[in-house]
């Protein structure tokens, strides 16, 4: 039994929580003049967490239409991304729950006591 899968969940949680904070920041600045929406690339960041490299960091989304006030936050997009990210986090938490439960079961002494 290898416990290395725990570092995988560590990577997922860290990456998804950073994304969650960035998306919250985007939504908070939906009416800020000149603000540009940011996000981090999930796969590259997760890979960096798993290999111990430096994560790539936040990057501008640069996909949406820029409004007259220089703001390019699309509220609907951010909410979609936010919901997806939250589901991902909860899925990871659910899998982690099952994995640790299995680990605990394996660690328990023989219940029949023989």
The contact set with other proteins (CB under 8 A) reads 13-14, 17-18, 20-25, 27-33, 35, 38, 40, 55, 57-58, 75, 78-79, 82-83, 86, 89-90, 93-94, 96-97, 100-101, 104
Q: Which is nearer to other proteins, 23 or 46 (CB)?
A: 23
Helix (H) or strand (E) holding 38: strand 38-39
Min dist CB 3 to other proteins, Å, is 14
Min dist CB 87 to other proteins, Å, is 9
Q: Which is nearer to other proteins, 98 or 114 (CB)?
A: 98
Q: Which is nearer to other proteins, 58 or 64 (CB)?
A: 58
Min dist CB 75 to other proteins, Å, is 5
Distance CA 12, CA 2 (A): 18
Q: Is 36 exposed, middle or buried (0-12, 13-18, 19+ CB in 10 A)?
A: middle
Q: Which is nearer to other proteins, 38 or 50 (CB)?
A: 38
Helix (H) or strand (E) holding 60: strand 59-60
Q: How many residues does the chain have?
A: 114
Q: Is 99 exposed, middle or buried (0-12, 13-18, 19+ CB in 10 A)?
A: middle
DSSP code of 39? Answer: E
């Amino acid at each position: 039994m290898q416990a290395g899968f725990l570092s995988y969940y560590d990577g997922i949680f860290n990456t998804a929580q950073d994304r969650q904070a960035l998306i919250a920041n985007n939504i908070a600045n939906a009416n800020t003049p000149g603000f540009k929406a940011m996000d981090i690339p999930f796969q590259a960041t997760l890979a960096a967490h798993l290999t111990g490299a430096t994560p790539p960091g936040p990057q501008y989304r640069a996909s949406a239409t820029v409004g007259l006030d220089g703001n390019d936050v699309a509220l609907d997009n951010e909410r979609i991304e936010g919901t997806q990210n939250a589901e991902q986090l909860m899925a990871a938490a659910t899998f982690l729950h099952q994995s640790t439960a299995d680990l605990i079961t394996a660690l328990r002494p023989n219940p029949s006591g023989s």
